[in-house]
Chains A and B, each alone.
Chain A
Amino acid sequence: MEITSAPRPAHQDFLEKEYQYGFTSDIESETVPKGLNEEIVRFISKKKNEPDWLLEFRLKALARFSTLAEPRWAAVSYPRIDFQDIRYWSSPKAKKKEDAPGKIDEVDPDLLATFEKLGIPLSEQKRLTGVAVDAVFDSVSVHTTHQKELEAVGVIFCSFSEAVEKHPDLVRKYLATVVPAGDNFYAALNSAVFSDGSFCYIPKGVRCPLDLSTYFRINASETGQFERTLLIADEGSFVNYLEGCTAPMRDENQLHAAVVELVALKGATINYSTVQNWYAGDKAGKGGIYNFVTKRGKCAGERSKISWTQVEAGSSITWKYPSVILQGDHSVGEFYSVALTNNRMQADTGTKMIHVGKHTTSTIVSKGISAGDSSNAYRGLVRILPGAAGARNYTQCDSLLVGDRCSAHTFPTVEVQNPSSVVEHEASTSKISAGQVFYLQSRGLDLEGALSLLLHGFCKEVFKKLPLEFSVEAVKLLEMKLEGSVG
Chain B
Amino acid sequence: MGSPLLDSIQAAWSLPGRDASGAWDRERRTGRDLVAARGLPQKSEEAWRHTSLADLAAQSFIPAPPQAPLPAALVDRLTEILDAGDFPLVFVDGFLHLPGGSRALPAGFHAKDLRGEAILPPVFQQAPDSREPFEAVNRSLCDSAWLLTVDEGVRLEAPIHVVNLHSPAAAARMSHGRLYLRLGRGASLRFLSSHLAPGAGAPSFATHAVRAFQDTESRLEFLHASAGNPGHSGVQTISVHQKAKSFLDFTAVCAGGLLSRLSLEHLLDGEGAEARLRGLYPLDGAKHNDIHVHLRHAAPDGKSRQTFRGVLDGKSRAVFTGKVTVDKGAHGTDAGQSNRTLLLSPDARVDARPQLEIYNDDVKCAHGATTGQLREEELFYLTSRGIPREQARALLAAGFVEDLLGAIPEGRLRLHARAWLAQHGPSAQKA
Q: Show the binding face of A for B, using Cβ within 8 Å.
A: 73, 386, 399, 401-431
Contact = CB atoms under 8 A, between A and B. Distances in A.
Given A404-B328, A419-B345, A429-B358, A413 B352 contact: yes
B260 to A, nearest CB: 19
Contacts of B411: none
Given A409-B357, A413-B352, A420 B370 contact: no
Nearest to B340: A424
A486 B368 CA distance: 29
B361 A424 contact: no
Given A404-B362, A431-B361, A417 B372 contact: no
A423 B365 contact: no
A410 B356 contact: yes
Interface string B63-97: 00000000000000000000000000000000000
A425 B369 contact: yes
B51 interface: no
B285 to A, nearest CB: 16
27 contacts: A73-B46, A386-B346, A399-B358, A404-B362, A406-B359, A407-B359, A409-B357, A410-B354, A410-B356, A410-B367, A413-B351, A416-B350, A416-B352, A417-B349, A419-B344, A420-B346, A421-B371, A422-B370, A422-B371, A423-B369, A423-B372, A424-B368, A425-B368, A427-B354, A429-B356, A429-B365, A431-B363
Chain B interface size, as a band, is 20 to 34
Given A73-B46, A419-B346, A407 B371 contact: no
A411 B367 CA distance: 11
A419 B362 contact: no
Contacts of B427: none
Nearest to A406: B361
Interface in B329-356: 341, 343-346, 348-356
Contacts, number: 109
Nearest to B336: A428
A223 B346 CA distance: 52
Contacts of A427: 354, 356, 365-368
A416 B371 contact: yes
A403 B369 contact: no
Q: Provide the main secondary structure of the chain B interface.
A: strand
A403 B373 CA distance: 42
B360 interface: yes
Nearest to B49: A413
A431 B359 CA distance: 12
A426 B366 contact: yes
Nearest to B358: A408
Contacts of A402: 361
Given A421-B371, A427-B366, A401 B351 contact: no
B346 A414 contact: no
Given A422-B370, A425-B370, 20 more contacts: A399-B358, A403-B361, A407-B359, A408-B357, A408-B358, A409-B355, A410-B355, A410-B357, A410-B367, A414-B350, A414-B351, A414-B371, A415-B349, A419-B345, A419-B348, A419-B372, A425-B352, A426-B367, A429-B365, A431-B363
B110 interface: no
Contact of B372 (A399, A421, A430): A421
B367 A419 contact: no
Contacts of B371: 414, 416, 421-423
A464 B362 CA distance: 28
Contact of B353 (A406, A408, A411): A411
B364 interface: yes
A12 B149 CA distance: 58
A399 B360 CA distance: 11
Contacts of A428: 365-366
B346 A418 contact: yes
A426 B361 CA distance: 19
B51 to A, nearest CB: 13
Given A73-B46, A404-B362, A431-B362, A425 B344 contact: no
A403 B46 CA distance: 30
A411 B355 contact: yes
A408 B354 contact: no
A21 to B, nearest CB: 29
A301 B360 CA distance: 45
The 5 closest A-B pairs by CB, nearest first: A419-B343, A401-B361, A410-B356, A431-B361, A422-B372
Contact of B358 (A401, A413, A420, A426): A401
Most buried by B among A405, A411, A427, A429: A429
A304 B338 CA distance: 33
B368 A399 contact: no
Contacts of B46: 73
Contacts of B328: 404-405
B267 to A, nearest CB: 19
Contacts of B366: 426-429
Given A418-B346, A419-B343, A412 B354 contact: yes
Contacts of A420: 346, 373
Interface in B265-318: none
Given A404-B328, A419-B344, A414 B358 contact: no
Nearest to B361: A401
B356 A409 contact: yes
Interface string B356-398: 1111111111111111110000000000000000000000000
B48 to A, nearest CB: 14
Between B341, B350, B361, B372, the greatest number of chain A beta carbons within 10 A of the residue's beta carbon is seen for B361
Contacts of A416: 341, 343, 349-352, 371
Contacts of B359: 406-407
A390 to B, nearest CB: 10
